[in-house]
Amino acid sequence: MKIDRQTVKTPRRMRAAWRALTLAALAPVPAASAPPALHSLVIQSSETLQIAPKEDKEWYEKGVWPLVGAGVTLAITNAIALWIVHLQAGKTFKATLKQRKIDQLSASLSEFYNPLLALIDINGEIFDKTSKKAWPEDEAGREAAALVWVETKKKVLANNLVIETILRTKTHLMSETDSLASYQPLLLHVAMYETFQTVQTDLYKKFMFPASVRSHLVDQRSTVLSAYYETSGDKI
């Protein structure tokens, strides 16, 4: 049989073409060239790179000690604050006690000793200047003095009523060195004086005004007044 050469050559050519395509596919693709750099920066250093050593902390900076330190600081701060509050409260309490004592001494003077002494002195002046022992010798003068005595006696009786009220209601304001027994004769005198104005009797001599009570009042008032000035800081 006669073989056509053209027919035989065709498969060989196809195989050669296929082999060429395969090799072209497997061949590496050349990388695209990078654009040229515009500038170049070169850094040179004579120092070598070293790793920093681990910082060595103090004992109070390690573990739970920072927390303990914060707690102790807070406790000390609170303790100082409480101590300051305590001092302020103590000062306030002392100031309150001082003011209370000043008020008590002031009331003792203004409501007990001062009015008692003033009323006793007023009554004493009335007796010395308008009672029977101060009347003139002439008849006309005595009649006029008697009329005056009738009116001034009313003032004495009114003052005695105030004295009696003070001795009955204000004795809690007496000084610590004073006593109610010192004023019993005065209380009896002012209570009985009005009775003996309507009933003339020698029994009145048993209820005469106690002269010693005034000096006692002066001494006690002086004691209270000195205590008041000392406590309040005022000068006499």
pLDDT in tens, 207-216: 899 999 999 9
pLDDT of residue 151: 93
Predicted model pTM: 0.60
**Stretch 66-72: mean pLDDT:** 77
Q: Mean pLDDT highest for which of 30-34, 106-110, 204-208? A: 106-110
pLDDT of residue 53: 57
Q: In this predicted model, what pLDDT tens digit does every residue of 2-59 receive, in sequence order? A: 444 544 445 566 666 666 666 655 555 555 555 555 555 555 555 555 555 556 666 6
Q: What CA–CA distances, in Å, run from 174 to 73, 123, 221?
A: 54, 22, 9
User: How is residue 206 written in tokens?
Assistant: 């048993």
Distance of alpha carbon 106 from alpha carbon 123, whole angstroms: 24
Distance of alpha carbon 144 from alpha carbon 158, whole angstroms: 22
Say which residue, 28 or 223, is predicted with more confidence.
223
pLDDT of residue 2: 45
Taking the CA atoms of 31, 37, 42 and 43 in sequence, report the sign of the dihedral they define: negative
Which of 20-34, 72-86, 101-115, 209-223 is predicted with the least confidence, judged by mean pLDDT? 20-34
Q: In this predicted model, what pLDDT tens digit does every residue of 154-181 receive, in sequence order? A: 999 999 999 999 999 999 999 999 999 9
Distance of alpha carbon 176 from alpha carbon 172, whole angstroms: 10
Please report, rounded to a whole number, the percentage of residues in the chain having pLDDT higher than 70: 71
Domain boundaries, the chain: 65-99, 107-232
